[in-house]
Amino acid sequence: MHFCNFLLVASTAALAVAAPSASEKKRAKKFQWFGVNESGAEFGNAALPGQLNKDYTWPPTSTVDTLVGKGMNAFRVPIMMERLIPTKMTGSMNATYRDPMVQYLNYITSKGAYAILDPHNFGRYYNNIITDYSGFQAWWKTVATLFVNNDKIIFDCNNEPHDMGSASVKQLMQACIDGVRSSGATSQYIFVEGTSYSGAWTWVSSGNGADLLSLTDPSDKIVYEMHQYLDTDGSGTSANCVSSTIGSERLKAATAWLKTNKKKGILGEFAGGANTQCQNAVKDLLSYMGSNTDVWMGALWWGGGPWWGTYIYSMEPPSGSGYTSTLPLMLPYI
Ligand SMILES: *[C@@H]1O[C@H](CO)[C@@H](O)[C@H](O)[C@H]1NC(C)=O
Ligand SMILES: CC(=O)N[C@H]1CO[C@H](CO)[C@@H](O)[C@@H]1O
């Protein structure tokens, strides 16, 4: 609920910090996308389908006006595959979940921003690793049909597959691409993710680099989405960061892979705790990406949304720790 105030207060914070340097401003403009994950609709996934406003919620549309007004232009919206199409992937959509989702995403794009539709399923459907690729393709065809005429929707095939081989994930991502395109949605970007939680630091070593390279899209609008946290195990569960340069270090191999293969990347999730080491690390990460915008198209902080409470990376005003102390550092990049 409070998330709508995120950038409103951010603008106030901007007045209180030093103006961005010319080089920072220049860098900032080069990101195609900068924004946040807007959580809520994927919450309470132990309860499927779950009840609206009890197990899960939709972030308020009023957020969007404020955030877009302050310069953000990309919102990743996690959802649950099972809530949208229950029982089986080839089934039909549940209107109770579908209609507010469509409204919310269309609202975002009506403001000129990109809405990233993110089935937050870790490569699983009802907790089983998806191996029915044609079923998954059907799921995406059904869903993409809703947005055929909206070129500011981005289809994010699946959040953070893990404990499955990169070759299997390749098949999963290709099924998504094929499903989306066969719906008639041909103008939109598609974000693909890899195994090992789509970590940037393990992109090459996990096999993603080799296997996902051969994905094909008739519209040629694939963007490789990677995630990078800055804590010891890279899981995004600690408020501490390894060092102030860990971000750029962890992105190096993936950046080289993108360049060598002439691919585009998006950092779909990143965050660090609200302490000096992490804040320097976040700055280092964004600076590094800012000098490699030939391959990095943007970055999305994890996470925003109305139900995060005292989460270590919360951007929630008035007291979310990321919001009160890390946000000012990121303003030059918005
Ligand atoms: C449809 O979704 C609503 C809310 O998510 C849920 O309460 C209802 O049980 C769902 N219906 C089916 C058939 O899954
Ligand atoms: C890194 C992180 O914060 N991951 C969380 C993302 O959000 C889901 C719920 O949406 C949590 O279960 C994860 O722990």
CATH number at residue 321: 3.20.20.80
Task: Give the DSSP letter string of 228-239.
Answer: EE-STTSSS--S
> ω into residue 119 within 30 of 0, thus cis?
no
User: Does any domain span residue 14?
Assistant: no
Q: Is the pLDDT at 26 greater than 60, yes or no? A: no
The angle that helices 62-69 and 6-16 make with each other, rounded to 10 degrees, is 30
Q: What is the pLDDT of residue 319?
A: 75
CB 165 within 8 A of CB 195: yes
User: Does any domain span residue 2?
Assistant: no
User: Does any domain span residue 61?
Assistant: yes
pLDDT per residue as tens digits for the range 139-171? 999 999 999 999 999 999 999 999 999 999 999
Give the span between the Cα atoms of 119 and 81, in whole angstroms.
6
Comparison of pLDDT for 272 and 29, the residue scoring more: 272
User: Does any domain span residue 5?
Assistant: no
pTM of the model: 0.89
Q: What is the pLDDT of residue 287?
A: 95
> Two tokens at 259?
């360049």
109 lines ligand 2 (CB under 6 A): no
CB 328 within 8 A of CB 286: no
Look at the chain and report how many structural domains it folds into.
1
User: Does any domain span residue 8?
Assistant: no
Ligand 1 centroid–CA 57 distance in Å is: 13
Clarify whether 160 is annotated catalytic.
Answer: yes
User: Does any domain span residue 16?
Assistant: no
Percent of the chain scoring above 70 in pLDDT: 90
User: Does any domain span residue 190?
Assistant: yes
User: Which residue in the list 82, 193, 269, 316 is annotated as catalytic?
Assistant: 269
pLDDT per residue as tens digits for the range 28-87? 446 888 877 788 899 999 999 999 999 999 988 887 887 787 778 999 999 999 999 999
Clarify whether 193 is annotated catalytic.
Answer: no
Q: Is the pLDDT at 212 greater than 90, yes or no? A: yes
The angle that helices 276-290 and 246-260 make with each other, rounded to 10 degrees, is 20
Print the domain residue range for 208.
23-333
Buried (b) or exposed (e) across 137-176, using 16+ Cβ within 10 A? bbbbbbbbebbeebebbbbbbbbbbbebebebbbbbbbbb
User: Does any domain span residue 9?
Assistant: no
Residue with tokens 């940037």: 200
